[in-house]
């Protein structure tokens, strides 16, 4: 599961990191509380890499309107090749979704939601595996995407039973389809110890919250 994340890397730094041409309509950064249906930074390849904005929330082609069915922010790696919503996209339309870190929640004995912030242990940006889909008539065309998730590794299972599929730089070309076949083999949990996490303020429980204080550690 991945339902909220933060992006703090400047747009020009992202373009340089991915060797991608940036679009003119990219969302503002930093954003410490990226929520479903927001426009997010993504990287796709159509002969050249492009840093472009997409709606986080994949819309299958048969939806008559964006809210015609469930909000598809995640795609399960175990079934992505079979589900009608995602099977064509996982073969033909894969993207990278960069972020600084993401949030997950546990509950205390009283049922209160306690947020955690998860990053790479080495401090580098996280890069999620994603799939995308254009939706809507030509005049209203919307580019939409979902984050691919997998069962959590032992470390992450302390917080949640699912985790995003994260990609190393050496795997980006394979996931984007630039380096032949074999992308399915990349849909694995992160290695143990690759991620780090800490408790953060319950402010982030609100999708209206903003600011750098959302990722600051608080006492468990």
Residues annotated as catalytic (active site), given as ranges: 2, 104
Cα distances (Å, whole numbers) of residue 57 to 10, 35, 91, 156, 171: 23, 10, 18, 24, 24
Residues in the chain: 220
Cα distances (Å, whole numbers) of residue 173 to 95, 96, 181, 219: 10, 10, 10, 40
Cα distances (Å, whole numbers) of residue 178 to 68, 80, 134, 170: 34, 20, 20, 12
Parallel, antiparallel or unpaired: strands 101-107 and 5-7: antiparallel
Parallel, antiparallel or unpaired: strands 142-151 and 49-56: parallel
Cα distances (Å, whole numbers) of residue 72 to 2, 3, 92: 11, 10, 18
Q: Assess contact for 209 and 33: CB atoms under 8 A.
A: yes
């Amino acid at each position: 599961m991945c339902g909220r994340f933060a992006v703090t890397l400047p747009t020009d730094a992202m373009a340089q990191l991915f060797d991608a041409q940036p679009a003119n309509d990219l969302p503002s950064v930093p954003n410490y509380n990226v929520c479903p249906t927001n426009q997010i930074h993504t990287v796709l390849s159509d002969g050249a890499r492009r840093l472009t904005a997409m709606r986080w929330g994949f819309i299958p082609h048969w939806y008559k309107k964006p809210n015609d069915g469930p909000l598809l922010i995640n795609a399960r790696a175990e079934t992505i090749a079979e589900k009608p919503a995602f099977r064509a996209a996982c073969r033909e339309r894969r993207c990278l979704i960069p972020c600084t870190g993401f949030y997950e929640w546990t509950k205390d004995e009283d049922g209160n939601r306690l947020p955690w912030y998860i990053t790479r242990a080495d401090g580098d940006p996280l890069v999620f595996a994603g799939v995308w889909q254009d939706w809507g008539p030509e005049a209203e065309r919307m580019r939409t995407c979902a984050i691919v998730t997998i069962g959590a590794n032992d470390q992450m299972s302390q917080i949640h039973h699912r985790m995003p599929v994260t990609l190393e730089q050496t795997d980006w070309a394979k996931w984007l389809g630039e380096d032949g076949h074999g992308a399915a083999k990349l849909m694995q949990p992160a290695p143990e110890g690759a991620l780090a996490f800490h408790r953060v303020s319950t402010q982030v429980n609100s999708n209206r919250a903003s600011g750098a204080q959302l990722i600051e550690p608080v006492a468990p």
